[in-house]
A and B are shown apart, each in its own frame.
Chain A
Amino acid sequence: MPITINGREVAAPADPRVSLLDLLREDLHLPGTKKGCNQGACGACTVLVDGERILSCLALAVQFEGRSVTTIEGIGTPGALHPLQQAFVKHDGFQCGYCTPGQICSAIAMVEEVRRGVPSHVTGDLGAETIALSRDELRERMSGNLCRCGAHNGIVDAIEHAFAGVSA
């Protein structure tokens, strides 16, 4: 069964050691997804699988047969940026840009988690049906994406403006 990547069907690698990240970057030449720590500590390799955010560095590609993967290349193009990408530009959500594809993918899925009502470490009332996307919620929910330039304030601003008014 093939893996669907940005709408295109791709055969799973013959060698089961190949991570989803290496499949994307080395085999499919989709270098938008970044290799940061390669051990699940930085979030630079975040991609969407059936709409959910995961770390492609800790994922063996063979486990994703039949699944639909979206990378930053499937989210926006230089001529047609996703509204969140536009917000990152406007609010200085990056300096070097290395963590940015992971930040963008992560934030897109994060907003869906809030809409679904998934609680976080800072959610006060677990019984509540709705969760508002406060700055505290946003920072906690994005804590798996590190930015070593220290652009976190701009990142939070960008996400907040792009998804203003989101709650479950």
Chain B
Amino acid sequence: MTPFRFERAGYVAEAVRAGALPSAKFLGGGTNLVDLMRETIERPEVLVDVTALDREIVASENGGLRIGAAARNTAVAEHRLVRDGYPVLTRAIVAGASAQIRNMATVAGNLLQRTRCTYFYDTEGSRCNKREPGQGCDALGGFNRIHAILGASEACVATHPSDMAVALAALDAVVHLRGASGERSVPLTEFYRLPGDSPDIETVLAPGELIIAIELPPLPFAAHSTYRKVRDRASYAFALVSVAAAIEVEDARIKDVRLAFGGVSHKPWRAFAAEAALRGKPANEASFAAAIDAELAEARPLKDNGFKIELARRVTIATLTELTGERA
């Protein structure tokens, strides 16, 4: 691990001031960053501990929910307002990592965790444009079973590893940011970038900008939502494919729906095309199949990950069937 200076931020302005140095990084629970520093993939010269900042989870005046950036993943998952109003978020969080890691990890840190692409981690033997821009991508022609089928580029085929962010993408979450030039808010679906020619730049965060809170807008039918994750073992593994879904059915027709996928792209993939195809249609398997096919029309398989297309299709249909079935 490269030596660094450790600083503790007691309030947001202090964090933003300390984080303004070009070589500074913010530290949450450390569950990803400490590992990346040990691997020398991340080499900050200043580490600004922001875990003492806002961690409150409170109902907003408009009926939504505001989650402080330093809230631990467990605290969000177990919160009564989340379990009752946004069960997809609780389900997504407890589908990720282990209890120990969820106790440590913050919400902002979860959003900013980096890919688990094995070529990204292989500092000794692999080329990676995300780790070393311009170097090339060994995953593209390598063993790419876990890689992206949507929105990838020649430069990068990595996926985003978060489960929580997939639920937040489905829920129209807004990310509140504070930087040297003030405060701004970005919808989570616009917070992440597709890799394009610069996969090392993963979000729209300006240098030194700090996530201060996540806001969930009111979405009454999100009380009827869930998260389904398919992985290589029953627990404690990253998603091959995951689906976050919320649906509102009226007179056997789909009145409104939110759908997002994990494990398939460089970012949590909000399925806008599928949602548009579903609205107004009968709540049955034929509608679900047509909608997912519309979304996956632009999917591009690599050598080893073509199975993800059929898997995403099946998991989506199963999830929507579960939400609209008799148990609903």
Contacts and interface: CB of A to CB of B under 8 A. Distances in A.
Interface of A: 15-17, 19, 38-40, 43, 46, 52-55, 58-60, 62-63, 106, 109-110, 113, 116-121, 123, 126-127, 139-141, 143-145
Contacts, number: 95
Contact of A39 (B3, B35, B74, B94): B35
A110 B51 contact: no
Contact of A117 (B34, B78, B101): B78
B11 interface: no
A40 B90 contact: no
Contacts of A143: 98, 234-236
A145 B91 CA distance: 21
22 contacts: A19-B34, A55-B100, A55-B101, A58-B101, A59-B104, A60-B6, A60-B34, A60-B47, A62-B6, A63-B27, A109-B99, A113-B74, A116-B78, A118-B74, A121-B91, A121-B95, A123-B94, A126-B83, A126-B90, A127-B84, A140-B235, A144-B98
Contacts of B1: 17
Contact of B103 (A17, A19, A52, A145): A52
Interface of B: 1, 3-6, 27, 29-31, 34-35, 38, 47, 49, 51, 74, 77-78, 83-84, 87, 90-91, 94-95, 97-101, 103-104, 234-236
A127 B310 CA distance: 33
Contacts of B101: 40, 55, 58, 144
Nearest to B52: A63
Contacts of A120: 94, 99
A110 B100 CA distance: 9
Which of A43, A113, A141, A144 counts the most chain B CB atoms within 10 A? A144
A144 B34 CA distance: 18
B94 A119 contact: yes
A119 B98 contact: no
A38 B77 CA distance: 26
Contacts of A127: 83-84
A39 B234 CA distance: 20
B33 to A, nearest CB: 9
B100 A53 contact: yes
A54 B98 contact: no
Contacts of B27: 60, 63
A59 B30 contact: yes
Nearest to A126: B83
Nearest to A47: B100
Contact of B35 (A52, A58, A62): A58
Contact of B100 (A54, A121, A126, A139): A54
Contacts of B103: 52-54
A118 B101 CA distance: 14
A17 B3 contact: yes
Given A40-B101, A53-B100, A63-B51, A126 B87 contact: yes
B90 A119 contact: yes
B38 A38 contact: yes
Nearest to B233: A143
The 5 closest A-B pairs by CB, nearest first: A144-B98, A143-B235, A16-B6, A143-B236, A126-B83
Contacts of B34: 19, 58-60
A115 to B, nearest CB: 12
Contacts of B38: 38-39
A153 to B, nearest CB: 15
Contacts of B94: 119-121, 123
B70 to A, nearest CB: 12
Contact of A110 (B30, B99, B104): B99
B47 A16 contact: yes
Contacts of A116: 78
A49 to B, nearest CB: 8
Contacts of B97: 144
B275 to A, nearest CB: 24
Nearest to A56: B100
Given A59-B104, A144-B100, 12 more contacts: A16-B47, A19-B34, A39-B35, A43-B100, A54-B104, A60-B6, A60-B27, A116-B78, A119-B78, A120-B94, A143-B98, A144-B101
Contacts of A145: 98
